[in-house]
Amino acid sequence: MKIIDFYVIILSFLITLITYYTANSIVFILIQFFICITISIYTYVLKNNARIGKLTSLYNRKYFDYILSDKLKRLRGRANLALLICDVDNFKLINDTYGHVTGDAVLAELADILKANIRKSDTAYRYGGEEFAIIMPNTNYNEAEVVAMRIKKAVEKHFFKTNVTVTVSVGVAVTNYKVSAIDIVIIADKALYIAKKQKNTVVCLQM
Which amino acids are annotated catalytic? 130
Where is 66: in which H helix or E strand? Answer: helix 61-73
For 129-147, letters b (16+ CB in 10 Å) and e give ebbbbbbbbebbeeebbeb
DSSP SS3 for 158: coil
**Strands laid side by side in the 81-88 sheet:** 123-128, 131-137, 81-88, 168-175, 202-206
Residue 86: other Cβ atoms inside 10 A: 26
Q: In angstroms, rounded to a whole number, what is the distance separating the alpha carbons of residues 195 and 189? A: 10
Q: In angstroms, rounded to a whole number, what is the distance separating the alpha carbons of residues 132 and 95? A: 17
